[in-house]
Structure formats: C-alpha cells, structure tokens
Structure 1
Amino acid sequence: MPDTAKDMLDRAMGALVGGALGDALGMPTQLLSPARIAALYGHVEDFVAPVADHPVSKGLLAGTITDDTEQALLLGRILVDSGDRFDHARWVNALLDWEREVKARGSYDLLGPSTKRAIDAINNGVPPEEAGRGGDTNGAAMRIAPVGIMMPLAPLDAFVAKVAETCRATHNTSIAIASAAAVAAAVSRGVAGSDWRAASDSAVAAAGQGAALGHWVTGGDIAARIVWAQELVRGRTVKDAIRLIVDLVGTGVASQESVPAAFAVLEVAAGDPWQAAVISANLGGDTDTIGAIAAGMAGACAAFSRLPQERISRLVGIDIGQVRALASDLVAARATKMKSGKDAAA
C-alpha cells in the first residue's frame, strides 16, 4: 500500500476510534451538570463507570461506547455497500434493525430525540423522506465521520450533497445538515493530511453550503457560531474555556449548541484527540456526543497511531479489527472517487 494510502487509513482510523474514545469517556457524564460531574467523579481524565442511578447510562461498564459510535459505524457500512448512490432504503432498514437491537439491550433511552422521533414515525408508516423534516438536533453530526472519510472535499457542492443525502431520514433540516457538513468537512480535510486549524476552516465553508439544504428551521447560523465559539475560547485556560462553553455556547443536544461547542473544544485542546475527549467529558450536558465529534475530528487530523493505545484497548463494545476493515473500505472508496474526478478533469 502506498505511503499516502497508509496515512489516509491511519487518519480514517483516527476519526472513527477517536470518536469512540470521546463517546466512551463522556458516557457516564452525559446529562449531568459540571458541578454534579465534579461531585461524583472529580475531574474526569479516564474511563469511569456511571453511577448506579444515572438517568441513561446506568449499568454500563467504564469505557463503553454508545449510540454515537454505533450509528457512525452503521452508516459507514451502508455507505460502502451503497456504492456511488446512497441506498436510502437500506439505511432506513438498518436503522430500524439497529433500533430493535438497542431496545432488546434495554438502551433505547440512549437514542437522540430526532432519531427516536424519526424511527417511531417510520415504524408508524410515515414515508422516510418526510420522517426527518423536524430533526434539528445533533444526531446527524455525531455519526457523519464516515462520509468525511469516504468523500473528497472537492467539489464542495457534491460533498455537501452527500452529507444531506445521509441526513434525509432523520435530520432533513437546514441546521442539522449544516452541522453535519461542518463535522464531515473537518474529518475529510484531516484524512487528506491537513491539521485541525485548516479542518476548522473547511468546516465553516461546508456549514455555509449545508444551511441552504433541507427544510428550514430556526436557529443560530452554524458557520458563524463555529467561528464565534472558537474565538471565544482561544488562548483561555481549560477551566475558563469550560465555563465559557457551558455558559455561552451551550452543551445541549441542539445542533447550534453542541456542534459549535465541539469546535470550541477542538480549539482548546489544540487538536489533541484525548484532550478533546477529556474536556468534553467535563462539560456536562451532551458530553458523549460533543466528545465523539470533537475527538473524532481531532483524530482525523492527528491519526490513529497518535491516539492513546492503552486506552483504546479498554474500550467496550467496539471491535477494532472491524473498524479497521470499514476504514479501509471507506478509504478505498475515497481513492476511487479521487481518481474518477481526476479522469473527468483530464
């Protein structure tokens, strides 16, 4: 395998496994306030088990991934199996099968509100193309990394159109598509070899285009809020940055809070994936999703080989061999798209 392909695979693995690290570290702190997190766990710097009365994570082992990682890997496999044209029906059926499995495990409350509403609507006979028209939360952004791995960033309109296509069943709104486009663009730029600063610039451009797609819903402009959130915390200590993110940016499931928050975390962590996961876990609110997004973007820019391998070995609920196989397939699909683009331009 050529060195460039090896590097792309390393960065693709960084995106997927980095996201899993952020997800698992934030699992026991999600939905809690920063004060409650500090009282229960101190400053979270490693995997911990959730308290026995945790509202959604009770009973899970320390280091366990959640729906953030599971849906990302599921979407990645559907992307590979779909070929050039995203198989919308296969994706919906895969989500429905996954939902049944999650219910059987007793973890349905871990699903995000937009995905839960859309799946319930599809189960009740609503056409998939209509089910996602109210989805404005962060579920699309949390699982979008495989699109960033598979798709070259240029041409940007085609890239954002692919993001929107994968959002349709659950998050077919302007704000959710803009958010997912931003995260996917950061991952794609990282897989291509750029650092986290360049990835942030690409994210802003993609968010601007994504905001014109899907059903319009009210909410702050994602591109502008990403820029503002990163400027807000630039040069701040971690303690001050956490306070600013919590008090001003927000850490809820709303796309206009959690996605800019993840980019602010990326700024404070200076692109370090594990630090991005640690900062996210201590924010309170939707910590697992913010961590999955921030550490996934950082992982794409840093690469798997620079992630903390000892902590990866303690992840629960993920098969790294299967992740590597998926990452390899996504990178191969990206290489094919890049070659066909060059051939078309020749």
Structure 2
Amino acid sequence: MSGERDRALGTLLGLAVGDALGMPTQSMSREAIAARYGVVDRLLDGADDQPIAPKLRAGTVTDDTEQALLLARIVVTHGGRVPPQVFAAALEAWEEQMIRRGSLDLLGPSTRRALTRLAEGELPELAGRDGVTNGAAMRVAPIGVAATGPRLLDAVVESAVVTHNTAPGIAAAAAVAAAISTAVAGAGLPAALAAAVEGARAGARRGNWAAGADVASRLEVAFRLLPGLAPDTLADTVAGVVGTSVTATESVVAALGLVAALGDDPRRALVTAASLGGDTDTVAAICGAVLGAAHGAAGLPADLVATVRRVNAPLLDPLDDLVDGLLRIRSTPR
C-alpha cells in the first residue's frame, strides 16, 4: 500500500474509530463519564440510559461516520462535486433510514433547520445561513482526502453551504479539511496544524457573519496552550476552557487541540477525547481523522480498527473502494 493511500484510508478509519470510542459517552458530562467508566480506554456498549445511543453494541459508529461516508459517495459519484440538492436529498434519506432503525441519532439542529428551509423553497445558499454547529466539520474528511490546493476551500464550501453557510461553520470545516489534505500529502502534523489555522482563516471569509469567537484565533491559542500539559490538566483545560459542545468554535477546536497536544500517540489522544464529556463522538472522530491522515491506517490502534471494521461491516466494507475513488479525484488535474 502506498504511503498516500495508507494515509487516506487512515483518515476514514481514524474517524470511525474515534466516533465509535466516543459513542457511549456523547452528551454526558465529564463527571458522569468518570463515575461510570473511569477513563474510556476501550470500546464500550451504549448504556440503556445513553441519551443518544442507548443499547448500541460496542464499536458501533454514529452519524459522524455515516454522514462522512454519505458525502464521500457523492463526491466520488459526481467527480469531486457536491450538488446541493443531491446532498440535501441524501441527508433526508439518511435520517429517514435512522428513524426506521429506531435510532435517536438524527440530523443535527443546523442541518435539520436548513433542510426544512430548502424543502420550503429557499435557495441552497440561504438555507444554512445560521448553521454554527459542527455538522459540516464532522463529515468533511472525504473532502480533505479528495481535494488539494486552491480547489480545497471551494470543495469545503460546496459541502457546507446548504447547512452551515456561516463564518464559524465553514471555518471549522475548512480547518479540518486543510489539516487532512496536508497530512495525506505526507507533510506531517506541524504542517497540518498550520494548514488548519490558514484554512479556518480563509473559510471564515466565505460564510455569513455569525456572532462568536474566530475559529482560527481559537486554534492558535489552543495550539500554544495545550501541548505539554499534564494529562489531568490537559483534560480540564480542553473541557473547561476550550469547550466540547456541538458549537463549531468549541468541539472542532477541542479536537484539533488534542491533535496538537497528543499527536504522537493516537490511542491516548482518542481516549482523552472520548472521556471529556460533551460531543465526545464528534471530538474523537475529528481527532481520529486528522491523526489517521498523519500516521496512516498502520499507525492507528490495530485492535480498535479491527473491532470497528467488524462491528460496522456493512457500512465500512466499501471503504477501500471509496478511498480509491477519492484519491482518483485528488490526482486529477483541475
């Protein structure tokens, strides 16, 4: 397997492993997680009282992975494009499937609101005008695999505009995609993190203004503040200062901040993410995607990868073909 392909596969596997590790703790407080599980250093079942993923089998992925792969299929089918109406219809169909399965893991608030507006006749560029949550960032990993250079930001915007057409929503997605694209190219984590800041800065200029902190500025602070902290202090600082809510300016910065602090140890980074509280599945999924892009599939915890692939076999079986399709687009001159 080539280095680039290993890193591209690692991106999607890292996302799935982080998502599954954070599944049983999502929407729980850090204190509740500590009381029930201690440190989440293994794949766990969703408890009967899990707010979003009750009774799910250990290793099961959630909406983060499912929507990322949905986006990947559209990108491959449409030669690198994400037609707004096609994407909107696919998201609607995904939610209907989840409802039939009895899942509580449905579309997020920004996406649901935007798709309702789109169904009522609003233009795609208007439907996501107030989407400031992390939905665009949580599913953007395939764009980072498929796109490079000047077309990367355009591809991010195309994937985000229908649901998260705001400065924070696009900036957060652009940060994740830029980090992944840079890491898949083999540039290493420092370059990937620098690209995340620049991606966030450029992305913020492409969305509607929304009140809140600047993603690029928060990333710069997190990258200075978090590396070198002792484990408990690191977790306290990410949870209490950076934040782990569904807001893009918190959870996406938390995920990339953990990459900056623990990027040489993917298992420790993912365990920390899954134990923080808040939107743990998304924080761990984004963290895992960037670390997978940097270290490759071979650099991820092999035991976790094997279990997640087995438990989610129908969903993840086409992963290799999807990666090959995304890399064909990446290598096509534009």
Q: Which amino acid aligns with 1:180?
A: A
| TM superposition outliers: structure 1 runs of 4+ over 6 Å | none
Q: Which amino acid aligns with 1:170?
A: T
Aligned residue in 2 for 1:322: 318
Question: What is the distance in 2 between the residues matched to 1:104 and 1:124?
Answer: 24
Using structure 1 for the length normalisation, give the TM-score: 0.92
Aligned residue in 1 for 2:192: 199
Using structure 2 for the length normalisation, give the TM-score: 0.95
Q: Which moved more, 1:127-136 or 1:143-152?
A: 127-136
Decide which of 216, 220, 223 is 2:209's aligned counterpart: 216
Cα distance, 1:275 vs. partner? 2.2
Q: Which amino acid aligns with 1:101?
A: Q
Query: Is 1:180 the equivalent of 2:176?
Result: no
Aligned residue in 2 for 1:262: 255
Q: Which moved more, 1:118-127 or 1:286-295?
A: 118-127
Question: What is the distance in 2 between the residues matched to 1:295 and 1:256?
Answer: 18
Aligned residue in 2 for 1:272: 265
Query: Is 1:304 the equivalent of 2:282?
Result: no
Query: Is 1:115 the equivalent of 2:105?
Result: no
Cα distance, 1:321 vs. partner? 3.2
Decide which of 154, 159, 162 is 2:152's aligned counterpart: 159
Question: What is the distance in 2 between the residues matched to 1:239 and 1:15?
Answer: 27
Q: Which amino acid aligns with 1:131?
A: A
Q: Which amino acid aligns with 1:144?
A: V
Cα distance, 1:253 vs. partner? 0.5
Cα distance, 1:84 vs. partner? 4.8
Conserved? CA contact 1:92–1:128, under 8 Å: no
How has the CA–CA distance of structure 1 residues 271 and 75 changed in structure 2, closer, same or farther, with 3 Å as cutoff?
Answer: farther
Cα distance, 1:108 vs. partner? 4.1
Conserved? CA contact 2:95–2:106, under 8 Å: no
Q: Which amino acid aligns with 1:317?
A: N
Question: What is the distance in 2 between the residues matched to 1:86 and 1:51?
Answer: 36
Q: Which moved more, 1:291-300 or 1:106-115?
A: 106-115
Aligned pairs for 1:330-341 within 5 A? 330-336=326-332, 340=333
Question: What is the distance in 2 between the residues matched to 1:226 and 1:114?
Answer: 22
Instruction: Count residues in correspondence.
Output: 331
Conserved? CA contact 1:22–1:274, under 8 Å: no
Unaligned runs of 5+ in 2: none
Query: Is 1:41 the equivalent of 2:37?
Result: yes
Kindly provide the CA deviation profile for residues 312-346 of structure 1, in whole angstroms up to 9, marking residues without a partner as x: 2211335443111101110111011xxx25xxxxx
Conserved? CA contact 1:115–1:139, under 8 Å: yes
Kindly provide the CA deviation profile for residues 273-324 of structure 1, in whole angstroms up to 9, marking residues without a partner as x: 3222111001100000000001110110000122222222211335443111
Decide which of 3, 7, 17 is 2:3's aligned counterpart: 7
Quote the sequence identity (%).
44
Cα distance, 1:238 vs. partner? 1.8
Aligned residue in 1 for 2:97: 101
